[in-house]
Every structure is written in structure tokens, then in C-alpha cells.
């Protein structure tokens, strides 16, 4: 099941008969009841997960095979660490920090003013002045 699913069922934005605007609900009792229900759901999920974990642990085969240790094998084991110690230890390369995923649908951000050419700046200024003139004309009516 998708774990991103919201588990609350209450709506704090309710419409009242007194108007068309949505108002916040002031009823604390319904909110507290909803919080209790959420807590019960969480507890049930935890119990189910614990139960599944117990079942998995019980079904897992327990393998404990004791092998007799021979003298020849112990000599080989002792020589292996000496060989491993001779291998030069390479310094671990620092891992690059993961870059955060861009959120914005791939829309580029605004350009800084220094990136515009003088012609573009003049055109923007002309449009801004024309818009200001339109707004002033509407305001004066």
C-alpha cells in the first residue's frame, strides 16, 4: 500500500450556512476525536507490523552448522590477514553531496538585470511606462 497516503479524514475548512467563504472550524471536539482515530490507526499498523515481523522470524530457517576446525585451516587463516595488511590503503574519495531534485516543473528562474542587453532593457522600460500610463488613466476615471 502507498505509504504517502494521508490517514486523516477530517476537514478543518468547513462551509457554514452564513456565507460563501470557507471558515476554519472552531469545534475542538471533532478535531480531538479525529486525532484519537489517527492514533488508533497508527497503533493498529504497528501491531500488524510487529506480528508480521514475528511471523517472518518464525519462518526463517535456523541454520547452525558446526564444522570441526582443522589445524591446516587455521594456518591458512593466519596468513590471510598478513597479506591483507600489505595492501596499500587508498584514501576514500569524499562523496559528493546529493544535489536536491529541482522543484518547479523545469521552469527557469528570473534573469538578473545584468543579463539583459541595453535594447531589451529599453523595451522593458517602454512596456512598464505604457502599463503605468494605462493604470493611471483607469485610476483617474
Q: Examine residue 124 and state whether it is found in any structural domain, yes or no.
A: no
In the predicted model, is pLDDT for residue 3 greater than 60? no
Read off the pTM.
Answer: 0.28
Task: Report pLDDT for 48.
Answer: 96
Q: Supply the range of the domain harboring residue 25.
A: 1-59
* Average pLDDT for 52-63: 83
Answer yes or no: is 123 within a domain: no
Rounded CA separation 31/25 (Å) = 9
* Domain-embedded: residue 46: yes
Residue 22 is given by DSSP the state: E
- Identify the residue with better confidence: 70 or 48: 48
- Answer whether residue 126 is part of any domain: no
129 inside domain? no
Model confidence at 73: pLDDT above 60: no
pLDDT class for 136, splitting at 50, 70, 90? very high
Amino acid at each position: 500500500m502507498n505509504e504517502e497516503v494521508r490517514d486523516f479524514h477530517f476537514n478543518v475548512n468547513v462551509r457554514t450556512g452564513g456565507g460563501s467563504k470557507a471558515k476554519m472550524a472552531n469545534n475542538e471536539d471533532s478535531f480531538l476525536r479525529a486525532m484519537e482515530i489517527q492514533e488508533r490507526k497508527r497503533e493498529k499498523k504497528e501491531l500488524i507490523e510487529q506480528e508480521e515481523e514475528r511471523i517472518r522470524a518464525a519462518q526463517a530457517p535456523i541454520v547452525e552448522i558446526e564444522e570441526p576446525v582443522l589445524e591446516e585451516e587455521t594456518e591458512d587463516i593466519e596468513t590471510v590477514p598478513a597479506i591483507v595488511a600489505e595492501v596499500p590503503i587508498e584514501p576514500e574519495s569524499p562523496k559528493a553531496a546529493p544535489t536536491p531534485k529541482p522543484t518547479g516543473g523545469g521552469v527557469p528562474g528570473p534573469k538578473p538585470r545584468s543579463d539583459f542587453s541595453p535594447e531589451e532593457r529599453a523595451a522593458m522600460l517602454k512596456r512598464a511606462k505604457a502599463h503605468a500610463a494605462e493604470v493611471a488613466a483607469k485610476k483617474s476615471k
